[in-house]
Structure 1
Amino acid sequence: MMKNIISIICLLLSMCFVACNDDDSEEKGPQLAFSELIYTLDAEEPLNVEIRVSEPVPANTSVKFNIRGAAVQGEEYELSANEFVIPAGESTASITVTPKNNFEDGKTIKLELYPVDGYVLGEYNFTLIEVLTKGQLICSFQEENYVLPGEVEIRMDAKDANTGKYFSASTDTKVPFIVGEHSTAIENVHYEFVDNPDKMFVIPAKKSYGTIKIRFLKWEEGKTTLFLLVPDGNDRILPGDVDQTEIYIKGMTTPDRLEGKWVFKELTSMDYVKNNAWYGGEEIANMPENNLPTDMLEFVNGGTQLKVHATGDMAKYFRDADVTFLKEQLVYLYEFGGIGRPPQVTVSMMNLSQANVNFSGVNEKLRSVQVGFRLLEDNETLEVTVFDYEPTDFLYNTYKDLAAWSGEGEFPMEMHMIRYHFTKVK
């Protein structure tokens, strides 16, 4: 429809130009006109509209224009200025047209130049701007719930409201989000949005979703929830099925959060390790599964020192040690795998200055080790994952085979981890 209208206008203009050509030729002075007869305002990107004169102007020259057309200024588009200003010594000037809530199809903008003393209006004394429309988007968070350890990525999906198909644009598209009033965590105190001061998801060109990152800053009792919402009442954005997501600000498991006493509760990985041992018999006969409810790990001096109070099998590995935070790392909970990929969680890798990596009451090889620590959601359960060990009393042939294939910096026993749960002593 729009293309047909513009074609007819062009034909009429060409007829007018021929008819008026003789009259125009009698006028004297530099020619002033738009650089193009027809422009297209993209749905998302600003447009520069240019005028030009046939020779440089001797002084700064203001050129005013009239605005017509069905598109509404201030609602569907904005103009950067209400006049063109050609600088002295130059022959061109431009203004910027920025699309806004341009949702209705078939809208145009017509700009008409007013006469300027000393200049003759050329053939393109007006220009037509076709306004391309933004399609409404149905936006949903990918998940209803997220957990924020040290950093988390949140995803928002977008669909075309007219077709129901996943959205895809030729340019990047910004989708706003808002922080829910029921959030207990405070921005820039307990968390921060990474490089996102305007609170926008950016959907890259040719994509159907955008992501943002949130970084943990501080853990505080009672300040652990953050709600993000798809805005309601936005002309462009419509809330989808998951119009709100809740983020639990768990925070990193840092040494200071470990301070105190933790008593043994259970081994969660033993059945998995036994069932997946490469060799049977004696390899799994002496597994370190005999631990006592009185076995305890105690963290002191802000969690930077570990004191071991244990007589069960865990005492074959753990030693009093200095504790240093290294990094966050994703690990698999292989024991909860079932069918398909096992769940993945973020643990804090800590360096213990010493442990008996032989995991033995007979053989001892002391060195620094890396151990995974994770506070569960109740903050009363501590998960400790041991995969940096060189067993001599159990899984010894499994370890030898895996060690022969492992590269530098890898943990041969990573898939044969010993995973403990401890309960905080109040």
Structure 2
Amino acid sequence: MVLGSDITRYFSRPENREALEPELQAEVEFGWQNSRGTDPDEVIENIEMFLEHDAAWREDGEPLVAEFRQDAVKVEAPGAEALGSSAASEVKAWHLAFRGEWIAASEQLQEAARQVGAGGQSTRGYRGLLLYLSGVWLHLGAEDETQRARARELVRQAAAASEVRGTWLKEMPQLPGTEEVSLASMDVVAVSAIVARLRGQLRPNRVNDDLTKMREALAQDESTVYEGGLTALGSFLGAESSKPKGQGRCDSAWVWGTAIWMTVEAKSEQHADGLLPLHDIRQANTQLDQLAADRSMDHPPAGSPAIIVSDRLTVDPQHAPAANANVYLASTETIEQIAGDVSIVWSDLLTSAAGIQAEQTLRQHVRSVMTEHGCLPTQVIDRLTQNRIRPGA
């Protein structure tokens, strides 16, 4: 029995189904075929027929499951072999860490990172995490400067291994003597924009009113009001934020200079009781290119995502391949959470920034506050791109 949007969404992705044993693949596929677009009462009748296991099930149900079983082939997930090979070293490392044997624990975790590295791109992010932990553990047990230098080097390797450099690492405690993780170019643009706004003719009461209106707009589902809330959110994130004019354009465009762009298509009026329509996917596919054309550019900056905001977080497997590789689904709840964090950031900055005179000190403070609450563009993009629509992209 597959019940609930999370597991339904998980099984909607072919790569997740293909990693199952063939018997389970057949049963999940049978479920998809007999529930998609079907009246709920008919689904209940089918379940009752299955539970009774009478002639109707044996003659109609079982042969179809067997047919799906013949076509099913188990495909190991990318990196599965590398992750499996590292397990023994990881277990040893954690046993050693529990006993406070930090240097030996670090050595075991470095070995695990080497084994995980055999998975290539698919395990790159996890390798970065292992390298970071091994550096911290080595620092905890270091007895001389040579070992402390090696610990710092491991943390630097962790930053280099991360999928989006520094997105998670900048939130972690840094070792003494380790240089601060450099900001991505999009984060530099955002911090500069917010610093300029703080240095300008800012009226705190007006800003607080705008923050309240933004959150109220993003807490309801009427499309026009919701779209205005999205554009306000982008502005508070340090983006040049607007609703492009013209038919078929996105509901809100967030532009961080030439570093990265984001288009947001709001389907706030949709509810979770259904699949995302194919029309919505095709619409999102074109919006970054339209934005580039509006700006007289050949194409958007590399890595720019297109986000569909909807509570229909499941896509029909037949429609998912139609999505471009940079099109993602995000829930209205995620948007609300980001809006809440942005409000905290600005409440802090409106209070604290006025007492900071030095430009560089203010930049560092803005960076620190945004980082703490997950509001740098790299962090926001990471939060909004957890659910890629296109399988295997």
Which of these two proteins has the greater Rg computed from alpha carbons?
1
Instruction: Tell me which of the two structures has the higher relative contact order, counting C-alpha pairs closer than 8 angstroms and 6 or more residues apart.
Output: 2
Q: TM-score if structure 2 supplies the norm length?
A: 0.21
